[in-house]
Amino acid sequence: MRVLVIGGGQNSEHDVSLASAAAVAEALGVGGYEVSTVTISRAGIWEVAGVSEGATAAESLALAMTMITRADVVFPAVHGALGEDGVLAALCALAGVRVVGSGPRAGAIGMDKWMTKLVAEAAGLRTARGRLIGAADCGDAEFDGAVVVKPVSAGSSYGVSLVREEADLAAALREAARFDRRILVEEVVHGREIDLAVIREAGGVRWAAPPLEIHAAGLFDTAMKYDGSARFTVPAQLSIAESGSLTRAALALFDALGCGGVARMDFFLTDEGPVLNEVNTMPGLTAASQVPRMFAAADVSYVDLVDRLVRAAEVPER
C-alpha cells in the first residue's frame, strides 16, 4: 500500500509536525508500506523534491496533487491551523483519496476550542466557564479572578497564559491575539490533568487507551511540553469509578464531534468529576508523545498504532 505522509504546515506547530511526520514515515516503512513524504513550508509551499523550487503556493499544490492522487492513503501529520482543522481532510475528500484521521467537520470543530465547548456541553460534558473575546476588544476585557487566556484555534499551548493579577491580563490577551483573532478566557479549574486517547479502528469499533496523568507544577505550557521536564504517569492511578467516568466522557465527545482515526481528549479530574479542557484530532505522534505512550500501556506498539490508523483510513465525508 502506498502512503503519502504530509508534514510541516503554516503555523506555530510546524516543527512539532515535522517530528511527527518523520516518526510516522519511519514506522510505516518498518511496517512494510511504500512511503512517500511531502513537507508544507511555513510559507505554504508544498516542497516536492526537485520539482517545486521557485513555485508559488498554488503551483506547488498543483504539483503535490500528483503525489496525492497516486497514494492509496494520505497521512496528514500536520498539527494546528490549515492541517488539523480539517483543511487537508477536505482536500483529500475532493480528490476522493482515503485519509488518516478525522474528516473536515470534526477537524474544524475540534480545532475551535469555543465550538468544542458548545458541543461538549450539548453532549452533557462539563467544561470550564469561559467567554469569547475578539482581538479588537482586548482593551475592554474585564478581570474577575485568576483565568487562563488562550487562542481559540491554536495548539501546543502557544499563546496560552495563566493570569493571576489584573495587571497581567492585557499582555496575555495580546500574546493570544498573535495566534488567533478570537480569544478564549476561562476560569481556572483545579484538578488532576488526565488525558485519554480514543481510536476508531477499521470497521468502526472505537475504544480508549489507558489514561495518562500529567504532573506539572503550574501551567502545562509549550516549554514544558517540549523541554523534557514534564512527567507523565501511564496508566494514571485512578479508581474504577474515575476511570469509567473519564472513558465515558472521552467516547461521548469523540462520537459527538464525529472523530476518526485517533483523538486525544484532555480533562481535569475534579472532586465533581471530569471537566473537559480541549481536544486534539491530530495529536503529536512521535514515539515519545502522549498518545503513543497511552497505547503502549495497552500493548499496542508504535508501529502497530500507525498501521491501525492507516487501515482505518477512509475517504472523508463530503
- Per residue in 283-317, pLDDT tens? 999 988 999 999 999 999 999 999 999 999 998 87
- Specify if 290 maps to a domain: yes
pLDDT category at 139 given cuts 50, 70, 90 is: low
Query: 129-150 b/e with 16+ CB inside 10 Å = b?
Result: ebeebebeebeebeeeeebbbb
CA distances from 250 to 122, 123, 202 (A): 14, 11, 19
- Same domain for 139 and 12, yes or no, is no
- Specify if 266 maps to a domain: yes
Q: Is-contact 295 197, C-beta < 8 A?
A: yes
The SS3 assignment for 93 reads helix
Can you say how many angstroms the Cα of residue 200 is from the centroid of all Cα atoms in its chain? 15
Which residue range is the domain that position 228 belongs to? 108-126+190-301
C-alpha grid cell for residue 143? 478581570
- Same domain for 118 and 218, yes or no, is yes
Environment class of 53 (CB within 10 Å of its CB; exposed 0-12, middle 13-18, buried 19+):
exposed
- Same domain for 117 and 20, yes or no, is no
Distance CA 214, CA 72 (A): 37
pLDDT category at 55 given cuts 50, 70, 90 is: confident
The domain tally of the chain equals 3
- Same domain for 252 and 231, yes or no, is yes
Distance CA 173, CA 177 (A): 6
- Given a cut of 80, whether residue 141 has pLDDT beyond it is no
Distance CA 149, CA 130 (A): 10
Environment class of 165 (CB within 10 Å of its CB; exposed 0-12, middle 13-18, buried 19+):
exposed
Query: Could you give phi then psi for residue 180, rounded to 5 degrees?
Result: -160, 150
Q: How crowded is residue 218: how many other Cβ atoms within 10 Å of its Cβ?
A: 7
- Specify if 314 maps to a domain: no
pLDDT category at 140 given cuts 50, 70, 90 is: low
Report the relative pairing of strands 2-8 and 73-76 from DSSP bridges. Answer: parallel
User: Residue by residue, what is the 3-state secondary structure of 45-56?
Assistant: CEECCCCCCCCC
Distance CA 309, CA 298 (A): 16
- pLDDT tens, position by position, 2-51: 999 999 999 888 999 999 999 999 999 999 999 999 999 999 999 987 77
- Same domain for 77 and 222, yes or no, is no
Sequence-ordered list of residues with C-beta below 8 angstroms from that of 316, at least 6 positions apart, any chain: 89, 90, 92, 93, 99, 103, 104
Can you say how many angstroms the Cα of residue 148 is from the centroid of all Cα atoms in its chain? 19
- pLDDT tens, position by position, 90-132: 999 999 999 999 999 999 999 999 999 999 999 999 999 999 9
Find residue 185's DSSP bridge partners.
Answer: 131, 149
- Same domain for 200 and 160, yes or no, is no
Which amino acid is it at 48?
A: V
Distance CA 280, CA 266 (A): 8
- Same domain for 113 and 249, yes or no, is yes
Sequence-ordered list of residues with C-beta below 8 angstroms from that of 301, at least 6 positions apart, any chain: none
- Specify if 307 maps to a domain: no
The SS3 assignment for 185 reads strand
- Same domain for 254 and 160, yes or no, is no
- Specify if 318 maps to a domain: no
pLDDT for position 15: 93
Cis peptide before 151 (omega within 30 of 0): no
CATH number at residue 161: 3.30.1490.20
- Same domain for 65 and 139, yes or no, is no
- Same domain for 197 and 295, yes or no, is yes
